[in-house]
Amino acid sequence: MRSVSIIGAGLTTFGEHWEKSFRELIAEAGIQAIQDAGVSGGQIEAIYGGAMASGRFIGQEHIGALIADQLGLNPIPSVRLEAACASGGVALRNAYLAVASGMYDIVAVGGVEKMTEVSTEDAGFALGGAGDQETELFMGATFPALYALLARAHMEEFGTTEEQMAAVAVKNHKNAVNNPFAQYRREITIEDVMKSGYVASPLKLLDCSPITDGAAAVIIASSDVAKKVCENPVEILASEQASDSLALSKRKSLTELDATKVAVKQAYERTGLKAKDIDFAEVHDCFTINEILATEDLGFFKKGEGGKAVEKGKTALGGEIPVNTSGGLKAKGHPVGATGVAQAIEAYWQLRGAADKRQVKDAEYGLTHNVGGSGATAVVNIYRRLEK
C-alpha cells in the first residue's frame, strides 16, 4: 500500500443556502480544492463523492455523473457513495484505497448535501432512513429519539448529566466563533441549552445539530506525487471502517458504539499510535451525547468519564485533547453527505498550521470520526504532517 496525502481542500460556508443550488455548491468546493492543490483538472484521474439523500432532498440521483459534469472533468470515472451521515467519510476512504493501491495517482473527493429544499418534517423523514426503516422509523422513532435512548442509557449507567451534554454544545459553539465557514458563529451558555426545550428527552434543541446546506472537497495523491506538487501535504496514515447492526434493538450495548471501537482499534494498530498520541480530533457530534460516546469509544477517556471530561474543559481548545475545533456538527453545521470530508479539511488545516484562532499548538497527529445513522457505520482516519 502506498502512502497517501491530502494536497488541497475546498469548502463552502455551511448554512441555509437559498441562493445556491446543489450543483453550485459542488462547483464552489471542487474548484477551490483543485486551485488549492495547484493541479489542473486534467491531472485528476477519478472522483469519489459522498451524498446521503439527494433523491429525497432535491429529487436528484446519479450524483457521480453530476459532479464530473459540473466540474468539467468528463470522461473520468466518478462515483457517488452513500453511508448515511458517514457518506463523506466513506467516499474519502474509498478514494484513499484507490490511490494507496496504485490504481490512481491523483483523485478528487467531495461531499455535498442540500437539505433546506424540503420541510423540516420531510428532512426528518429522509434522515430517518439512516436507521432501520421497518423497526424504528415506521414505529415512530425519529433520529433525536434514537440518540435520546443512548443518552438516557448513559445517564442511567454512568451518572452523565444534561448539563454535561450541554457543555459539549457550549464548547463547540465557542470554537465555531473562529470558523468563518460555520453555520452558527455565536457563543451559547449552559442555561441557553437547558432552556431550549426538549426535542426527545433528555435531548433539547441545542443538543442537536442543524439542518444544513454545504459542500466540501479534497484532492488526494500518492505521497510521492504530493511532495512534488504541494509544499505542506498532510498524510492519511490510516482510514478504517466498521459496521454494526442497523437497529438499536440488536446492539449489545446502548452506552458504546461498537463500530467506532473496531474502526479506531484498527487505525491505532495500523499506525502504531495510541489514543494519547492524538493531538486533536473531529468527532461526529450529531447530538451532544455522541461526542461524549465518541471520546470514550476512541480511547481518549474511560467509559463513563466523557461527560465529566468536557465539563472539566479537557476537550476544549488548549485542553488535554481538543475536540471539534471546527465547531463540530453542532455549530459548524451538518450537511450530511459533506460532513466526513469537512472533518478531513479541518485536520488538513490544523496540521498545516492554518486554523488561525482555533489552531492547536504543535499539532502533529489528528483524528477524524464520521458516523452513519445511530452508529451502524463508523469511519476513523488518522493524519499527520507529511515528513519530507
Question: Confidence class of residue 33 from pLDDT cuts 50, 70 and 90?
Answer: very high
Question: Confidence class of residue 221 from pLDDT cuts 50, 70 and 90?
Answer: very high
pLDDT at 236: 98
For cell 482510514, name the residue: 239
> What mean pLDDT comes out for the span 75-98?
98
pLDDT at 41: 95
pLDDT at 388: 62
**Which is the catalytic residue, given 85, 208, 230, 286?**
85
**Which tens digits make up the pLDDT trace of 121-148?**
999 989 999 999 999 988 999 999 999 9
Catalytic residue status for 230: no
Question: Confidence class of residue 387 from pLDDT cuts 50, 70 and 90?
Answer: confident
Selecting from 3.30.70.100, 3.40.50.720, 3.40.47.10, 3.40.1350.10, what CATH number does the domain 140-206+237-385 have? Answer: 3.40.47.10
Question: How large a percentage of the chain has pLDDT more than 70?
Answer: 100
Catalytic residue status for 334: yes
pLDDT at 386 over 90: no
Cβ contacts of 59 within 8 Å, gap of 6 or more: none
pLDDT at 299 over 90: yes
Global pTM reads: 0.98
Q: For the chain, what is the mean pLDDT?
A: 97
Query: Where exactly are the structural domains of the chain?
Result: 4-119+211-234, 140-206+237-385
DSSP β-bridge partners for residue 83: 85
**Which tens digits make up the pLDDT trace of 351-377?**
999 999 999 999 999 999 999 999 999
Question: Confidence class of residue 314 from pLDDT cuts 50, 70 and 90?
Answer: very high
| CATH of region 4-119+211-234 | 3.40.47.10
**Which tens digits make up the pLDDT trace of 254-295?**
999 999 999 999 999 999 999 999 999 999 999 999 999 999
> What mean pLDDT comes out for the span 238-253?
97
Cα–Cα distance for residue pair 6/33, rounded to 1 Å: 10
pLDDT at 346: 98
pLDDT at 353: 96
**Which tens digits make up the pLDDT trace of 169-208?**
999 999 999 999 999 999 999 999 999 999 999 999 999 9
Cα–Cα distance for residue pair 110/29, rounded to 1 Å: 8
Cα–Cα distance for residue pair 101/99, rounded to 1 Å: 5
**Which is the catalytic residue, given 154, 284, 334, 369?**
334
Cα–Cα distance for residue pair 219/383, rounded to 1 Å: 15
Cα–Cα distance for residue pair 10/28, rounded to 1 Å: 8
